[in-house]
Amino acid sequence: MSALVRVGAVVVSVAVALGVSGCTGEEPSRDTEQGAPVVQLGAPGEAGKTMSPEEVESLAVPTYTASDVAFVEEMVPHHTQALEMTALVADRTGTRAILTLAERIEVSQVEELAQLEGWLTRRGEGAGETPDDHGSGDDEQHDDHGDEAGGAVATHAGMPGMATPEQMERLADARGRDFDRLFLQLMIRHHEGAIVMVETLLADGSGGQESEVFQLATHIASDQAVEVASMKRQLTSLDG
């Protein structure tokens, strides 16, 4: 079944007991005392099945899994490196489109980073950091990210799309049109890597079932897909 399905094809059918009481003084029926039955509809052409209380209780809202934790833990440094890359932009290009793009990426990834870290913290799975730790509007903190060039990649080199320390150094050393081209190339690859991480999480059904992590993952994938399309157009324009 698709990872996009939350609980399954379960439809609750309420059968209300219509017995008359009051005047006759009859006791409520056993079904009325225990509540209406819950019926799980069968496949087309098949009869429905009345579920036991134990089966109904098993239809709990999906909880997070180890796959979800691994995804969120890896997405944190992944986003952090993207912010290290955008922190380099202001001092290295005068191209308005690149400046605007970097600002958009920074705003979205700072917000997503706070959500990712909050998700971990609320579940006791990570210490978490505040968005301010990642340069949300503080020029001095942006400079720190630029100076770190590749700091986030040191222990996460195996994640899809992550730039190597050497690539980050080349980006930090580039200026003007050369910077624009390399920034777009690295950020396209970086975003595509994040999309692969989301697809991997949702592929086998072992992760992404919990509502919050599902929403986080799908938002990251859709947002970055839009940015990838924009960056590819800009790169084509540069090379044209």
168 and 206 both lie in a single domain: yes
Return the CATH number at 150.
1.20.1260.10
Domain boundary among 14, 37, 60: 60
User: At how many degrees (to 10) do helices 176-203 and 96-122 cross?
Assistant: 30
56 and 107 both lie in a single domain: no
Domain boundary among 60, 76, 91: 60
Per-residue pLDDT of the chain (240 residues; tens, 9 = 90+): 444 334 333 333 333 333 434 444 445 444 444 566 766 665 566 777 787 776 656 666 789 999 999 999 999 999 999 999 999 999 999 999 999 999 999 999 999 999 999 999 999 997 544 434 444 344 443 344 334 444 444 445 679 999 999 999 999 999 999 999 999 999 999 999 999 999 999 998 889 999 999 999 999 999 999 999 999 999 999 887
184 and 114 both lie in a single domain: yes
48 and 120 both lie in a single domain: no
50 and 126 both lie in a single domain: no
* Structure tokens that stand for 30 in this block: 């056993």
In angstroms, what is the C-alpha Rg of the chain? Answer: 25
39 and 102 both lie in a single domain: no
User: pTM of whole model > 0.95?
Assistant: no
Euclidean distance between CA atoms 87 and 239, whole angstroms:
24
76 and 189 both lie in a single domain: yes
* Structure tokens that stand for 92 in this block: 């290295």
What is the domain extent for residue 151? Answer: 66-239
171 and 145 both lie in a single domain: yes
91 and 194 both lie in a single domain: yes
Euclidean distance between CA atoms 177 and 185, whole angstroms:
12
Following DSSP, what letter does each residue of 115-175 receive, concatenated?
HHHHHHHHTTS-----GGGG-SS-HHHHHHHHHHSSGGGTT-TTSTTPPPHHHHHHHHH--
| CA distance readout (Å), 212 to 11, 63, 67, 119, 215 | 23, 10, 14, 8, 5
Euclidean distance between CA atoms 76 and 216, whole angstroms:
12
Euclidean distance between CA atoms 179 and 56, whole angstroms:
58
